[in-house]
């Protein structure tokens, strides 16, 4: 097992940590050894994935464990459509590993740079009112508990814990392997177009119900929504992928390189924001293509930003978005980054943001170099909370255990499982102290 001490930063540059030691175990036995050692020495240990959370959830202030060597495909059960992956496997690696078996993940978020363990631990989701987040795809989790015991949690083993560990916040153990329930490979027909924002808000619920995957972006200071509607088709359906040059121009040059320059300009000269947003709205999001599901679900994001996302009862989305529109206007803020709106099916996972309710998501972003972003995030959070919002665990929010308890009916059941799996709080960090209590 290699070890080192170096500073760690998350992708959004909101967090910086200097752990006492960083470990990169190369087999499951080393993880158990590490956890037992930490427990007997009264140390704290934090499993860390790709560092793509904006909140301080992954901050390791004592021992940092990086699971990158426990990655790749461990086994495939083709009859049941299940695959078991090492915890450190990046989402981007999974399609190539499982397409050999004719399988795909049923839904994905915007990007694929996260590790599978990190993504499920914060309740990472994509969009689609008939589809749950990535954690709902999890059939089994292998983890080392706070006492150093290696267990598997599935419908057959420790079934009572399954709905806790599938969104576990890194509080219940170090995950070493994840079994996913996959679906046969499929393609997506993508339709991306600008539409009047007000009409999209009026039709929001029926658009979500009428499509497999519907989402939209709204650039503040404009009246247009960039909608994305993806339709699932059998794998053999005829494809019309974007030509490589068009994909490079749209997804690399315009969405990242040009956008980076525009964001930097707006950050230095905020008065240019409305004009630039109107330009951004015109040069992006007007295309149709059909391609492999993972190619359509995910894109590359190289312009750094900071993000807050709240899950709302889906019917509240139009009202909340209109309130945000009014807020930005009244405060005369210049907001360069778009607001993203998605949806998900209700699920039974105890700390899933879509627990027990059909959900709409609204995410607000700021360019990472923008100054004085707090008033925007604070005022947004106030509106979200007034509409029964639940914060994404991996994105910026200020909620504490007492506030979260009222938003999650199974909150204390989760804490009881934590008492069993991590009685000494080996996996605690300041974020978990805040959101779960000690
Ligand atoms: C550009 C960008 C786009 C994003 N898009 C989306 C999106 O579309 N939808 C969405 O919902 N979210 C999105 N996110 C948020 C992101 O998916 C989550 O924050 C996710 O948790 C990050 O995964 P990670 O591997 O980086 O984990 P980290 O951020 O490193 O860790 C997250 C949590 O997982 C725990 N963890 C990591 N590995 C293990 C392990 N082996 N065992 C136990 N616990 C572990 C950590 O302790 C921590 O609690 C995005 C983030 C960025 C930066």
What's the pLDDT at 5? Answer: 67
Burial class from Cβ neighbours inside 10 Å (0-12, 13-18, 19+) for residue 402 reads: exposed
What's the pLDDT at 248? Answer: 66
Could you tell me whether strands 138-144 and 174-181 are parallel, antiparallel, or unpaired per DSSP bridges?
antiparallel
Q: How far apart are CA 316 and CA 384, in angstroms?
A: 10
- Our mutation pick for probing the ligand 1 site, out of 118, 349, 364, counting the most ligand atoms within 8 A of Cβ, is 118
Q: Is the pLDDT of residue 55 over 80?
A: yes
Ligand 1: list residues with CB < 6 Å. 11-12, 46-53, 57-58, 67, 87, 109-111, 114-115, 117-119, 121-122, 124-125, 169-170, 174-175, 301, 392, 394
Q: Could you give the C-alpha distances from 238 to 188, 235, 388, in angstroms and in order?
A: 10, 8, 43
pLDDT in tens, 21-43: 999 999 999 999 999 999 999 99
pLDDT band at 301 (very low <50, low <70, confident <90, very high): confident
Mean pLDDT over 226-246 rounds to 89
pLDDT band at 284 (very low <50, low <70, confident <90, very high): low
Q: Is the pLDDT of residue 266 over 80?
A: no
Tally the residues of the chain: 438
- Our mutation pick for probing the ligand 1 site, out of 27, 68, 117, 122, counting the most ligand atoms within 8 A of Cβ, is 122
pLDDT in tens, 201-221: 999 999 999 999 999 999 999
What's the pLDDT at 53? Answer: 98
pLDDT, mean over the chain:
94
Atom of ligand 1 nearest to the CA of 123: 11
Burial class from Cβ neighbours inside 10 Å (0-12, 13-18, 19+) for residue 16 reads: exposed
What's the pLDDT at 4? Answer: 65
Q: How far apart are CA 276 and CA 259, in angstroms?
A: 10
Q: Say which residue the tokens 């839904």 belong to.
A: 107
pLDDT in tens, 376-413: 999 999 999 999 999 999 999 999 999 999 999 999 99
Residue 120 C-alpha to ligand 1 middle, in angstroms? Answer: 7
Atom of ligand 1 nearest to the CA of 393: 19
To 5 degrees, how large is the angle CA 249–CA 294–CA 93? 100
Cα Rg of the chain, angstroms: 21
Would you say the C-alpha torsion 347, 350, 352, 358 has a positive or negative sign?
positive
Residue nearest ligand 1's atom 15 by CA: 53
The domains located in the chain, with CATH, are 73-184 (3.30.465.10), 186-391 (3.40.462.10)
């Amino acid at each position: 097992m290699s070890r080192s001490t170096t500073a760690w930063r998350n992708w959004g540059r909101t967090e910086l940590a200097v752990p006492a030691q960083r470990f990169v175990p190369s087999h499951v036995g080393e993880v158990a050894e590490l956890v037992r050692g930490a427990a007997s020495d009264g140390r704290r240990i934090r499993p860390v994935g790709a560092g793509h959370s904006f909140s301080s959830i992954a901050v390791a202030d004592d021992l940092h464990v990086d699971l990158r060597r426990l990655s790749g495909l461990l086994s495939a059960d083709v009859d049941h459509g299940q695959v078991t992956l090492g915890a450190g496997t990046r989402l981007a690696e999974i399609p190539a590993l499982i397409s050999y078996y004719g399988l795909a993940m049923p839904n994905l978020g915007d990007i694929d740079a996260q590790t599978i363990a990190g993504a499920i631990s914060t309740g990472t989701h994509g969009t689609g009112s008939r589809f749950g987040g990535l954690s709902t795809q999890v059939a089994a989790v292998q983890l080392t508990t706070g006492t150093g015991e290696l267990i598997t949690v599935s419908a057959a083993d420790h079934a009572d814990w399954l709905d806790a560990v599938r969104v576990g916040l890194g509080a219940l153990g170090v995950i070493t392997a994840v079994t996913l329930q996959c679906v046969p490979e499929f393609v997506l027909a993508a339709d991306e177009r600008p539409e009047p924002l007000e009409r999209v808000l009026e039709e929001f619920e029926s658009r979500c119900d009428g499509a497999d995957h519907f989402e939209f972006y709204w650039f503040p200071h404009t009246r247009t929504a960039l909608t994305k509607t993806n339709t699932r088709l059998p794998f053999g359906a005829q494809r019309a992928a974007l030509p490589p040059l068009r994909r490079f121009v749209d997804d690399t040059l315009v969405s990242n390189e040009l956008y980076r320059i525009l964001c930097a300009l707006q950050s230095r000269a905020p008065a240019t924001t409305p004009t630039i947003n109107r330009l951004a709205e015109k040069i992006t999001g007007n295309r149709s293509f059909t391609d492999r599901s993972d190619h359509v679900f995910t894109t590359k994001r190289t312009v750094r930003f900071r993000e807050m996302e709240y899950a709302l009862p889906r019917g509240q989305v139009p009202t909340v978005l209109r309130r945000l529109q009014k807020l930005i206007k009244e405060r005369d803020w210049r907001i360069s980054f778009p607001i993203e709106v998605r949806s998900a099916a209700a699920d039974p996972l105890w700390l899933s943001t879509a627990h027990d309710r059909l959900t709409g998501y609204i995410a607000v972003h700021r360019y990472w170099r923008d100054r004085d972003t707090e008033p925007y995030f604070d005022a947004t959070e106030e509106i979200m909370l007034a509409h029964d919002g639940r914060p994404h665990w991996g994105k910026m929010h200020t909620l504490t255990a007492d506030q979260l308890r009222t938003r999650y009916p199974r909150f204390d059941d989760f804490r009881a499982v934590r008492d069993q799996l991590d009685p000494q709080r080996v996996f605690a960090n300041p974020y978990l102290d805040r959101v779960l209590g000690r």
